[in-house]
A and B are shown apart, each in its own frame.
Chain A
C-alpha cells in the first residue's frame, strides 16, 4: 500500500463547478498535512496546510479525518487558473520528511 494515495484523475470540470479531491494516508503517526499545487513543469507550491478542525482559504476548504486517515480538498467556483495537479502531502510521525501522493490533475474548461 502506498503511503499517500490519491485518485490521479484527470478531473475535467466546467468553470464555476465545485470539485473535491480525496487522499488517504497509511501512517497513523503523521502529524502535519498539506495540499500543494503543481503547474506543468513547475515546482510544487504550498496551497494550504490542513488543520484538525478543518480550514478554509477563499474558495478552498481542507478537511482532515484522523480516524479514517483521510484528507480532502474542496474547490468552489472553479476558475480556469485552477487547472493544475494537486498533491496531497503528509509528514511522517517524527515531523521530518514529507511524503507526496502522485497528485490529482484538474482541468477546468469554459
Chain B
C-alpha cells in the first residue's frame, strides 16, 4: 500500500494521560499535514512540515500538543495531559509541495486516528 498510513486507528485514553500518533506519508511527498476533525465539522488545520521543518502551527495547537518529523519521513503528534475536548479524529495528509498549483498542494489523507478521552 503506497498511501498515507496512520497508527493507531483508534485510541481510548483516560483524561490526563499522554498519547502519541504516528503518520507515514506517501514516500515521494515533501509536505505533511496534521488536521483535527470533530463531528459535523470540516478538518481543522493543526500544523504542517516541509521535509523536516515545521513551517506553521495553528493557534489550535496548544502547548500540550507537539509534532515532529525528524528525518523528513514519518511524523508523530503527541498530546500531553489529554482533556475530553481533545476527543476527535486526527488526520494526517501529505502532498508534493513542489511544482505548480494545484498539483503541488493536492493532499492525500490517511484513514485517521480516532481519539476518545474518557
Contact residues of A with B, CB < 8 Å? Answer: 4, 31-34, 42-46, 49-51, 87, 91, 95-103
User: Which residues on B sit within 8 Å (CB–CB) of A46?
Assistant: 106-108
**A46→B111 CA distance, assembly (Å):** 13
Do the beta carbons of B56 and A96 come within 8 Å of each other? yes
User: Which residues on A sit within 8 Å (CB–CB) of B112?
Assistant: 43
Question: B105 contacts which of A32, A51, A102 (Cβ < 8 Å)?
Answer: A32
Nearest CB on A from B113, distance (A): 11
Kindly report which residue of chain B lies nearest to residue A8, judged by CB atoms: B40
Do the beta carbons of A43 and B106 come within 8 Å of each other? no
- Chain B contributes a number of interface residues (CB within 8 A of A) equal to 26
Q: Is B74 at the interface (CB under 8 A from chain A)?
A: no
Give chain B interface residues in 17-47, CB to chain A under 8 Å. Answer: 31, 33, 35, 40-45
Kindly report which residue of chain A lies nearest to residue B114, judged by CB atoms: A41
Contact residues of B with A, CB < 8 Å? Answer: 31, 33, 35, 40-45, 48, 55-56, 91, 93, 101-112
Residue from B44, B45, B105 whose CB has the most chain A CB atoms within 10 Å: B105
User: Which residues on B sit within 8 Å (CB–CB) of A32?
Assistant: 101-102, 104-105
Question: A96 contacts which of B42, B48, B103, B109 (Cβ < 8 Å)?
Answer: B48
Nearest CB on B from A62, distance (A): 11
Do the beta carbons of A43 and B110 come within 8 Å of each other? yes
**A91→B56 CA distance, assembly (Å):** 13
User: Which residues on B sit within 8 Å (CB–CB) of A4?
Assistant: 42
Do the beta carbons of A43 and B101 come within 8 Å of each other? no
Kindly report which residue of chain A lies nearest to residue B43, judged by CB atoms: A100
**A5→B69 CA distance, assembly (Å):** 32
Given A43-B91, A43-B109, A96-B48: A49 touches B102 (CB 8 Å cut-off): yes
15 A–B contacts from the bound complex (CB under 8 Å): A32-B104, A33-B102, A34-B102, A43-B109, A43-B110, A44-B43, A44-B109, A45-B109, A87-B42, A91-B101, A96-B105, A98-B93, A102-B41, A102-B42, A103-B41
Do the beta carbons of B42 and A95 come within 8 Å of each other? no
**A42→B114 CA distance, assembly (Å):** 10
